[in-house]
Amino acid sequence: MRSPSSDEDGQQAITFHGKLGSLQTMKPKVLIFTTGGTIAHRSGQDGVAVMTFNPEELASRIELPDINLGFKQIFDKGSMDIVPDDWKVIAAAAADAISQGPHGVVILHGTDTMHYTAAALSFMLQNLGMPVVLTGSMIPGGDANSDSLHNLRDAIRVAAHSDIAEVCIVFSADPQRRKGVIIRGNRARKLHSHAIDAFVSVNVPPIGYIEDDKIILTQLKINHRKSLKLKLTMDLNQNVVLIKLNPAVTPGMLAQHLQGASGAVLEGTGVGHIKTDLHKAISSFNKPTVISTQTIFGGEHLGSYDVDRLILDVPNIIPAGDMSSETALVKLMWALKQDGNVKSIMKSNVAGEIRDLVSFISTADE
């Protein structure tokens, strides 16, 4: 048990409660944060779910006696209300927990924006030496038929026993909950609004699966556990916009949306195409502008058509490669606050979020 204390910035350290055990125990220790979401709900007699369930109540049913657990509530929010400042709170709490030397950290989170938070943590928690696992549920955690217990149990297994040192999302891999899937946090996407297996890995294989109580890793190259000094980089420029370029968008409309922003992510059509009449508005914006695609899979792939050169010749354009739009948005917020050239940072692989852009574009930064 850790007592409350204050760091140099006056921030109160996290106190965990639960079955942490002594420092001498050989049992792996997993620290679990709750932030609200569906997993913190219970359905009433009228069928309407209310945030009145404490996920710690699931602990007695987890049936993982070889793992010591500690719980701590950060806040109670539906994830549609979680904003970038909340990512910072979660990142700071995770960093404090990591300093206590557990085997891993689990964060219970609403599913609507879980992939945004996971992407943010993947950039904020640099030199990560252990798993930081996000999970939640599609059915209220306090309901008898909830997927919460299955997902939490799998997340704890990954945090305690896997050789993974990344931010990841663990969720049901199929509607029958026969196995769980482990997805790199900045490669995850919620693909279904209410299915049990709502999350998929975009443009890379999942990290692995949990099946029959076993963790099975794929061939995806990952960071493995090691002793590292965590670097917390939480500064964000939140003044970034994400815009879907549908056929009705005019140059005037785009310029209005871009006005006053520090940067933008534009979802082009197909491989990242942008209507020719919009190029001038983007160039006049003259701020970092990442070109992604409205498709889920495949990623931006400009360079296959002659018209692509007109897009790539716009000086402030940054190809997104195979990053998802959501990850590109979060990364741009983060990159704008880092030392160095924003374009170079966006095109660099920081946390497994992007492949080498040489394989995606045929035009360099002339």
| Annotated catalytic residue, options 29, 72, 190, 331 | 190
112 is catalytic: yes
Alpha-carbon gap, residue 66 to 283, rounded angstroms:
58
Alpha-carbon gap, residue 164 to 36, rounded angstroms:
25
| Annotated catalytic residue, options 96, 112, 308, 322 | 112
38 is catalytic: yes
111 is catalytic: yes
190 is catalytic: yes
**Cβ-based burial of 179 (10 A; exposed 0-12, middle 13-18, buried ≥19):** middle
Alpha-carbon gap, residue 136 to 158, rounded angstroms:
14
Characterize 39-74 residue by residue with b for buried, 16 or more Cβ atoms within 10 angstroms of its Cβ, and e for exposed: bbbbbeeeeebebebbbbebbeeeebeebbbbbbeb
Alpha-carbon gap, residue 75 to 73, rounded angstroms:
6
CB 170 within 8 A of CB 151: yes
Q: What is the dihedral of CA 215, 216, 218, 220, to 10 degrees?
A: 20
| Annotated catalytic residue, options 38, 289, 293, 327 | 38
Dihedral of alpha carbons 123, 125, 129, 132, sign:
negative
Alpha-carbon gap, residue 171 to 161, rounded angstroms:
16
| Annotated catalytic residue, options 34, 35, 111, 327 | 111
In what helix (H) or strand (E) does residue 119 lie, and over which residues does it extend?
helix 114-124
Integer-rounded Cα Rg, in Å, for the chain is 21
Single-letter code of the amino acid located at 19: K
Alpha-carbon gap, residue 109 to 92, rounded angstroms:
16
Dihedral of alpha carbons 354, 355, 358, 361, sign:
negative
Active-site residue list: 38, 111-112, 190
